[in-house]
A = this chain, B = another copy of it.
Amino acid sequence: MNIPNTSKPRIVIIGGGFAGIAIAKKLRNKNVQVVLIDKHNYHTFQPLLYQVATGGLEAGSIAYPIRKVFQEYKDFYFRLTSVAEIDTKNQKVISEIGELHYDYLVLATGSKTNFFGNKEIERNAMSMKSIPQSLNIRSLILENFEQAVLTKDDSEKNSLINFVLVGGGPTGVELAGALAEMKKAILQKDYPDLDINKMQINLIQSGDRILNTMSEASSKEAETFLENLGVKIWKNVRVSNYDGKTIITNSDLTFETATVIWTAGVKGALVAGLDAQSLLENVKRIRVNQFNQVKGYENIFSIGDIAMMELEDYPQGHPMMAQPAMQQGRLLGENIIKLINKQQMIPFEYNDKGAMATIGRNKAVVDLPKFHFSGVFAWFVWMFVHLFSLIGFKNKAVVFLNWVYNYIRLDREGRLIIRPFKRKSFVTFTSDEV
């Protein structure tokens, strides 16, 4: 990888998400060499991907060039590649651009869409975990409408403008709301020859409430907000298959649709090479102790979505969100320095700041640790929290301007099909690689 060997310990971080960026920042000029590896040259602000997928924000507004974050750092190296494997015996990372020895390794590879082993759904449904995937969804939505104006076959037309989102977590809920706004603000006006009332947005949830990691009040209010926007919510329904045309469920219910967006689950984006005892094979996550140290290794750590710290309070690990990832990253930055200096490491304690989800243009639900609220005020809180999180990561004025513009004008600018519009070539883009 053409990285100089020095006398300083080398810390290799795989993954430039919230966790990886947080630890790399903490290690600034700490007399260590830091190598950050990612398969994209930018950090993605994942909580707003659904806005890119529905044309509310440009890709550039929620992505930030990784090299720019670290421009002023000494002994810092970024490498753009995919890591296939790690060799823990020889302390090496094995990638497409060569091997690299590490003294300390930090696995912050995040999560990817979990299709629970169903290859047919994986082939036919869309994921929304990266910017290219979100751009693909944006193109597909618009391509569907372009296709729908052409056909005289009513069942084909209905299938093209029937959008099914599987998974009622924050991603599915926020996407459903944004799609409902897009229907009203753009699609109705852009496609006057279509009967827009026939456009359906179906949200399928396997459990008995959406947003089931939030309070019951939030679930209930989110359902009301979505229904007011015209979203149909199907609870206690499990999708068993999707062949590209028809969704089969565990009941008699079926859906004819050209578009399934799958947000029903995630799993760790594992790199090969760790010992089986370090892994939770079913969810592909890595078992770590309270110092985010991987079970069975002294000098390998894991943080963020992929790390699973089994605590009494969090038997499933911490929530797979930005907050735990950043908090773990920051603490591990300090702890690795302590370890190098032979000091006692500090155990991780999660500072739960609550959770929130936005529904459409001006509604949100917010659960603070001891307090719940929702509606327009919650939306403003949601917006400011996200705006402030973007500060330092991006020329936030542009994001803010876009938001305000959307809010006032009820319009969305980002509706370019910049990927090839032929469905066949299109599908080749939706793999995890992009």
Give every chain B residue within 8 A of A401 (Cβ-Cβ): 397-398, 401
Find residues 32-56 in chain A having any chain B CB closer than 8 Å to their own CB: 40-42
Contact status A131-B418, CB under 8 Å:
yes
A60, B55: Cα distance in complex, Å: 10
A224 on the B face (CB < 8 A)? no
Q: Mark A400-431, 1 if CB is under 8 A from B, else 0.
A: 01100100000001111110110000000000
A275, B5: Cα distance in complex, Å: 69
Most buried by B among A40, A192, A394, A420: A192
Contact status B63-A60, CB under 8 Å:
no
**Chain B residue, CB-CB nearest to A97:** B150
Contact status A150-B1, CB under 8 Å:
yes
Contact status B152-A2, CB under 8 Å:
yes
Complex A-B: 27 CB contacts under 8 Å? A2-B150, A2-B152, A40-B416, A40-B417, A41-B142, A41-B146, A41-B415, A41-B416, A42-B415, A42-B417, A58-B58, A59-B416, A60-B413, A65-B190, A65-B415, A68-B189, A77-B193, A80-B417, A98-B150, A394-B413, A395-B413, A397-B401, A397-B405, A398-B398, A398-B401, A398-B402, A401-B401
Residues of A at the B interface (CB closer than 8 Å) are 1-2, 40-42, 58-61, 63, 65, 67-68, 71, 77, 79-80, 97-98, 131-132, 135, 142, 146, 149-152, 186, 189-193, 394-395, 397-398, 401-402, 405, 413-418, 420-421, 433-434
20 additional contacts (CB under 8 A) given A42-B417, A60-B413, A79-B149? A41-B142, A41-B146, A59-B416, A59-B418, A65-B415, A65-B416, A67-B190, A68-B189, A68-B190, A68-B415, A71-B190, A77-B193, A79-B146, A97-B150, A132-B418, A135-B418, A397-B401, A398-B402, A398-B413, A420-B434
